[in-house]
Structure 1
């Protein structure tokens, strides 16, 4: 996704395939530019499937996008206090 893509532009592009309830481009806190991905929520799962089928591999503002269902983040690895026991300062 183009770094200047807006949430409004993302929603407009995907609205061709169904009722977009919410669209959000994830942006960098400092620059305000897109991080290269976003999320689109449709009113129904059928519209979401059409949106994915219709937009996957297509150009959006000059960039090829990949549309797929969102997946939950994997949890971070558990903290191990043993990792810092190798030296008295806590650093390896």
Structure 2
């Protein structure tokens, strides 16, 4: 299972998050998604810990806590929904000669 950490400062690094969450147990993985086009952080991340008990302690302690000037949102990550929807344009070949 994974923990969602929202409302992060754009200055936060993986090392920063690791340090904060290590107070509650073993951190096995930290992910900070970035914008595909700009490469800038998106203001949220995911943390995986060694056990569910450690995750629960971290969530209980950090949800709503102020860190780096922001009030954190920390909860269990929900599975990602596939909402790609196919809203893009669809190009079909035509027999026209241009």
Interval of TM-score (by shorter of Structure 1 and Structure 2):
0.7 to 0.9
Please state if 1:21 is matched with 2:28.
yes
Q: Number of residues paired by the alignment?
A: 81
Tell me by how many angstroms 1:34 deviates.
1.9
**Could you tell me the TM-score, scaled by structure 1's length?**
0.75
1:7-60 deviation digits (Å, cap 9, x = unpaired): 110111111111111112222244443201100000000000001011100122
Q: Report the TM-score when normalising by structure 2.
A: 0.71
Superimposed CA distance per residue, residues 45-85 of structure 1 (whole angstroms, 9 cap, x where no aligned partner): 000000101110012211111100110112226559xxx9x
Structure 2 unaligned residues grouped into runs of 5+:
1-7, 91-98
After the TM superposition, list the runs of 4 or more consecutive aligned residues in structure 1 that deviate by more than 6 angstroms. Answer: none
Is the 8 Å Cα contact of residues 57 and 67 (structure 1) preserved in structure 2?
Answer: yes
Unpaired segments of 5 or more residues in structure 1? Answer: 85-92
